[in-house]
Chains A and B, each alone.
Chain A
Amino acid sequence: MDDFMAKVTTSATMLLTGFTVVFSVLLLLILIIYVYGTIMYKLQNRDKTKKDKKQPQTEEKPVTKMPAVQAAPVASNDEIPGEIVAVIAAAVDSMYGDASGKVRIKNIKKSGGRSPWANAGVLDNTRPF
């Protein structure tokens, strides 16, 4: 009985100590990181707004006029260049062609949000299992 009570005491002490210390230390870290994160964020925003305010002043007095650069033609959603379509089709075929027979690509359009590189990174990180 004494042995049982000793075990209960040890267990309860460990559970209470562990729970309290781990949570206290990590909560303290949350607080500190939150505070310095907020300070940093505000400082950076202040610097940014200062820069933004300064920017127009420097632009007002250009030394020489630069020749206008023509904007590169931007492909609209419906005007993706043929080479790009061919590359995408080849990539899709190499991924799915063998498994499901012939693949027909009906539509290719740009998706918003995540960049292709970010998507590739996410795919790479989630594929192995």
Chain B
Amino acid sequence: MGLFMEISVLLGSMITFFVGGWVWFIRKIFRDYEANNTLVQLFFPTVFMLSCTMFELIIFEIAGVLSANTRYVYWHIVLYSMLLLLVLVIPFYLCYFVLSNSPLVKSQWVRPLSVLTWGGYLFCFWKIGDPFPILSPQHGLLSIEQSISRIGVVGVTVMAALSGFGAVNYPYTSMTIFMRPVSKGHIQAIERRLLQNMDLIVAKKKKIALAKREQLRNPNNIENKSGRSSVWNLFRSSSSSDVPGVDIAALKSEVLALEEVGRQLFLECVELQGQRERLLWATTLQGKFFNFMGYFFSMYCSWKIFISLVNIVFDRVGRKDPVTKGMEIAVHWMGLDIDVQFWSQHVSFFLVGCIIVTSIRGFILTLTKFFYAVSSSKSSNIIVLVLAQLMGMYFISMVMLMRMNMPLEYRTIITQVLGDLQFHFYHRWFDVIFLVSAVTTIIILYMTHSHLPVPDDLHHN
């Protein structure tokens, strides 16, 4: 292809990614907030665009589209801009926004303080690299290997934690044997208790309101009291208002206790409704399919956990990627006569494509849910920046780890571009964090599962 064609293809895809990221951001993630700071809004689609371009380049590498030279140059452009954003620009804006939102800092101090904090952040970022054996010693101070290695550590941690959590959580939520049955009667009983509780609270608040009103109307009693010493006031405090037997302080503490009970009941009700909806969904066709897939996934996850353990204990790193290994098995053990070259390219293309798409989709869904759960109108800017940062780190580490899934001839471009990193350290680190995250999730789910409400209120009607 001519140079002009190649550049236009690349630019066209970049613009598509940018617009896609922008639309997704405005419509789905930021839909409840007013976007008044345009610069912050731009970061998220930009990081998204750069990440997708990296994946696109990998696909092009396998499929052989565009000349090798163009790909190489383009890799460098994308990588450098990504690094610039992730290491320099976004952290600066983060410091600035955190400081300007915090009530402790006066407005004229915000700028110099944010530059200082930014400097501190860069120092810490540097120090992250020290305890890890991630670099060969012959690299200079400002090479991209330094930054990529550190970004890689953070990104791989996030990725492994999410994978571990997802690997355990997905079978748990989609398989019906884990779902406890919830009856209509149970939910109705809890709702009735909730409304009873609300009525109690309202009754007490009415008494408090009346007592306060009487206090306002008959202030002479209060004046009498103020003349006495404080010791007598202590004894008199039990009948502080004029309506006999009405004690505002005691009522208020009772109300607080009732409100706490009300909150617990409400949350229990929400939890039960959610479970009931999940049970109903499980009877649909989609639910049945997911349940079926859940069995496969749980097998895959147990195997993965086991393999991670084995890798760590025996300090083993797989040398061959799954595609080549699959080919070998097919040829040697099953005697199939296939053209290894041809098929390995297509299969790895397919495999890598699948991994990319499912990872992006999974990441996007998690991100959206997380944003809804955590955001508020004050902190939405900060959270968007944090998410953009995380996304960039996540995708860079994914590129790094994907190296293991590609056959040898396609690995060279990644090795060339990302530099001479100790890749097997990252795989080991991934295994460790994956194991820790999966085991933690199992423990947490086990504990919450055994504490699910048992329908015993049916007897109390």
To the question of whether A and B form a pair in one complex, the answer is: no
Binding site for B on A (CB under 8 A): none
Binding site for A on B (CB under 8 A): none
